[in-house]
């Protein structure tokens, strides 16, 4: 199965676009930490973008070790996506304004005036997903098999996508 980078990106975009919160895992002095992050409204083009504050632990953690994982979970339709990549803090006002949406006022009530707003960019290198679009029991069980064993099962699919 050979997919072009564009097809891979389109597939990932389709899988994650309606998931509002993802778990971002970073390495903190050898220990993994995850935290929920509000996802971007923009289409996925190979990079993930999150709004954050310069003052958070994760900003420090990423400066020391930029390897991260972002996992998306949609339990209602058994959809799970793992994206691996490297993270960088991006303090680019134009990009911040481009990605800004009034939705983010909930997090940053000072709006774009907040001097600590910064973007966290994840360059995705590797993606894996588990997806079962049907909710019948047989198919759900098929999916579950793949979840545990890592094998492809009847009802769902486990696919590894490379962004090389």
Contact footprint for other proteins (CB under 8 A) = 19-21, 23, 25, 27, 30-38, 50-53, 55-58, 67-69, 71, 73-76, 80, 82, 84, 106-108, 125-126, 128, 130, 141, 144-145, 147-150
Radius of gyration over every alpha carbon of the chain, rounded to an integer in angstroms: 17
Place of tokens 């972002």: 70
Q: Which is nearer to other proteins, 44 or 50 (CB)?
A: 50
Least Å distance between CB 13 and other proteins?
A: 19
CA distance 3 to 11: 10
Helix and strand counts by DSSP (H, E) for the chain: 4, 7
Q: Which is nearer to other proteins, 44 or 69 (CB)?
A: 69
Least Å distance between CB 6 and other proteins?
A: 22
Least Å distance between CB 81 and other proteins?
A: 9
**Sign of dihedral through CA atoms 102, 107, 110, 115?**
negative
* Beta-carbon count within 10 A of 129 CB: 20
Q: Which is nearer to other proteins, 1 or 106 (CB)?
A: 106
């Amino acid at each position: 199965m050979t997919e072009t980078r564009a097809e891979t990106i389109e597939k990932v975009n389709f899988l994650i676009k309606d998931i509002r919160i993802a778990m971002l895992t970073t390495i903190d002095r050898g220990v993994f930490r995850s935290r929920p992050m509000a996802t971007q409204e923009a289409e996925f083009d190979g990079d993930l973008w999150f709004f954050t504050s310069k003052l958070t632990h994760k900003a420090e953690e990423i400066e020391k070790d930029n390897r991260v994982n972002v996992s998306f979970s949609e339990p209602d339709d058994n959809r799970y996506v793992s994206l691996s990549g490297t993270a960088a803090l991006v303090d680019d006002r134009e990009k911040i304004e481009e990605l800004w949406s009034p939705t983010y006022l909930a997090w940053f009530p000072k709006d774009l005036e907040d001097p600590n707003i910064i973007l966290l960019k994840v360059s995705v290198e590797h993606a894996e997903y588990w997806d079962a679009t049907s909710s019948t029991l047989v198919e759900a069980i098929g999916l579950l098999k793949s979840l545990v064993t890592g094998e492809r099962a009847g009802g769902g699919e486990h696919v590894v996508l490379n962004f090389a």
